[in-house]
Structure 1
């Protein structure tokens, strides 16, 4: 098979009219089987018989097989950024030590919680919708709370007030 220009001139392989495209969404090779989970709503198939209920908990399914080639954007879409719904209590002493509960969505990817740039301690991911952390010492006033998340940092401006 030959390739030709619109004018009918044959195009040699070395002269193919193309240039390097910027790689904004590279392909990657998955190196191990990766599974995703989704929550099974208990009772969603309930028909009236107490023995006929859908399974409780999470259902694990194969998302990517080892050796599969995928675009980075496909992987990125699997990680939703954290969402802060509430911070409680939203105030504490400048000495720190307040155990703070943060609720929201997609909190299971949070690896650090910063109060005005200083990391909290004793971070515990309770569930994808709840975490607890102990506030560090700070200076008086409303301070930003930043969730360091594997899908990107999320900030609640003035989310915690030191008094």
Structure 2
């Protein structure tokens, strides 16, 4: 057999090795995350339910899914252990602190400082800039309509 014939098999075995190694690392990270659960911790199950941990056993965890409502889940059913701030924001609708980082609605605030935005809004003469793009677009559209109307009129006249 030649090396060219064996090359695909070697590549396939190497890819399988890397995939299983990656999967094992993910499983170990998930197991470590589940072992860090303590009573009072907020969690999300793999089904998407948010709950508070009440007791942690070897293979199971007791969750409070609503005030006074408890359910026993397998540890493997826990999808994520959440930070207190994140859990309270999701479950209770708590707003972030005033000094917390606020994500802007548009990208312009990520590239411009407030001073740059104010400077761009006012020219040196003190007059506000006029946005001509909409007027230019409207004028261009009107010219197209007139051109089409003229072409239609010439076509009708011939």
Please state which band the TM-score falls in when normalised by the shorter chain: under 0.3
Query: Which structure carries more helix by proportion?
Result: 2
Report the TM-score, using the length of structure 1 for normalisation: 0.18
